Amino acid sequence: GLLKMIERERLGEAVDRLS
């Protein structure tokens, strides 16, 4: 569960950087 939360946070950062 915790790993998935961290992955989601990293994905969100990547999306913010792309957009």
6-19 average pLDDT score: 87
Eight-class DSSP state of 19: -
pTM value is 0.12
18 pLDDT band, cuts 50/70/90, is confident
Q: Alpha-carbon distance 13 to 10, whole Å?
A: 5
Tally of CB atoms within 10 A around 18: 6
Q: State the Cα–Cα distance between residues 2 and 19, nearest whole angstrom.
A: 26
Contacts 24+ apart (CB under 8 A), 11-19: none
Mean of pLDDT values over 1-18 = 88
